[in-house]
Structure 1
Amino acid sequence: MNMLPINEVLQGDCLELLAKIPSGSIDCVFADPPFNLKKKYNSHKDKLLEIEYLAWCKAWISECVRVLKDDGFIFLHNIPKWLTFYAGFLNEIAIFRHWISWEAMTAPMGKTLQPAHYGILFYSKGEAKNRFKEVRHPHKRDRRGVLFKDYGGKKNILHPFGPLCSDVWSDIHRIRHAKNRDNHPCQLPPHLLERIILMSSEKGDVILDPFLGTGTTALAAKRLGRKFIGFEKDSEYCKIARAKLEAEKFISKVGDFYVSFHLNEIITLRECDWNGLKNYFELPQIPKDIDGQKIKLRQTIIEQKSFFDVSNHKPHNKPKELK
């Protein structure tokens, strides 16, 4: 490939397709590979000997780092068992930044601790001093709007929207209902990818996913004004991804600023955008009102013609004004 296959979903083996991507051409890679746990994919055998699986993983991880720009980021999602090996590979060719713990309770697995999180390894190819952007999520409140945490009597100095994200993400949940899922065993929620994309890239940057599945990473990138490249081995998953991308019209913005929505509420915004975004919110009049008063968007007309639910892509019956 002399030119990058921008905004395309390509069917094929990830190693063969990665080999055609020029070195230093990608801004961010997100990879959610098969976990080698005997899951049922349409055309992939998720059952290899451990030595075979790890050799294959080392090969595609090395290729993903090769195609990154010098300040590019790579995010690898998997169970902790495999991420310990991934970290060993990456420590030789990239710079460790974080192990993100995504709280996602799974079924009991016998005589062991209850699995309660997936890991997301976060590395940069080089120093990447200016690429990362801090992101915020809403304060956790009860139904009356009262803050769950006491904050040691310092509620009056809290940020109106919410705290900066740490490396533990407990506010984004797995897609639990079958009606919101595609025919895929390992579908991730779009707002998980939107948070990663918001903190690691800018408008127009290229996001590569070598295991696209039914298109979640590409969908998130499109909503946030980024370019995408997706590889997927299974033809049926490719069809689903392309159909979703063709139908997707929602641009996830408030005014000039990209944000991540879930169920009509902003769940991630960038700290560097706050000074511009705060004009779109109804902020508490006095600091103590932060407890018992949920921050809301003003009656802001979203520029798009329709607003889509981020889980199942069906239009809401709600008005075009977000309140």
Structure 2
Amino acid sequence: MPCAVFGASGYSGVELVWLLHNHPQFSLEYAFSSSAREDAEPIASLYPQLAGQLDVILQPWHSDLLSQLSQQVRVVFLALPHEASAELAPVLVNAGLVVFDLSGAFRLRDPSIHQQAYGFERAANIPETIAYGLAEWTTLAGTEQLIAVPGCYPTVTSLALKPVMSFIDGVPLVNAVSGVSGAGRKAASHTSFCEVSLSAYGVATHRHQPEIAQAIGHDVIFVPHLGNFKRGILATIYVPLQQGVSQASVDTAYEQAYSATPLIRLRQQPPAIRDVVGTAFCDIHAVVHQNHLIICAAIDNLLKGAAAQAVQLANQYFGCDSALGLQQRGGVV
């Protein structure tokens, strides 16, 4: 299946490039850079660790390439800034391409909430139905034109909470810590290792809060944190429970939800970030304590939280095994 990646020079984009390059059913035909770079260049010039392994050429995108792209490619993955995706995705859809978008441009259904979260209006010419692709909880028909890939924090939080939503009595509290790669590749002092100290950010204002609430159908209190490590997310979630909910009931709910999902691992002890970095797994551990459920969940933000989930959805879209090409440990960044 011939594919193209837009935003291939960024962290999530290069992970997509590497996954598609090694995938048995997808063929990477084009890799476009994240910005209007002047000249084409080998991807190894930005990521020397790929030298001798991947000869993909990063090239700038120009609209006059659309006709050529639509004739040679079936699937496009967008790892672009939100507003860039909002502008480009409808153009690609109208050209007959299937688009998996990793930005937040199309995740939120309510236009007013989207405006508040992202600061720009939704495009008027988007498809009427946009699939929200939380992979383990989404069934794609293979006819959708545009699939919104969830954000990294909503992915780990929703996967942790959805099996136990019927037990909740109150508002869950989500504390989640992400590595600095979640801020993207562009250099900034606040994401420099010399500057980063474990700290909360976006308290009560982070755009992933309404996405989490939409995904689970329930309000949450969400507090993200930035840690001085490269990649991965660890979420600790505190859930008030209805009276009488037992550990056995919780365990059964998770088993029923995830026994047939190869990329979810139910753990007997709290996961560490090192357990999931470089993988497409989400690891979950849940304990009932004092009428609360404490859930610890971990993912790689660039893989399960972005590139690998997009490929997982594409697998599903085209009738492949959900985990095809995703069970090896790797990662570029």
Q: Shorter chain as normaliser: what TM range? A: under 0.3
TM-score (norm 2): 0.27
Greater helix share, structure number: 2
Q: Which has the higher contact order (CA 8 A, sep 6+)?
A: 1
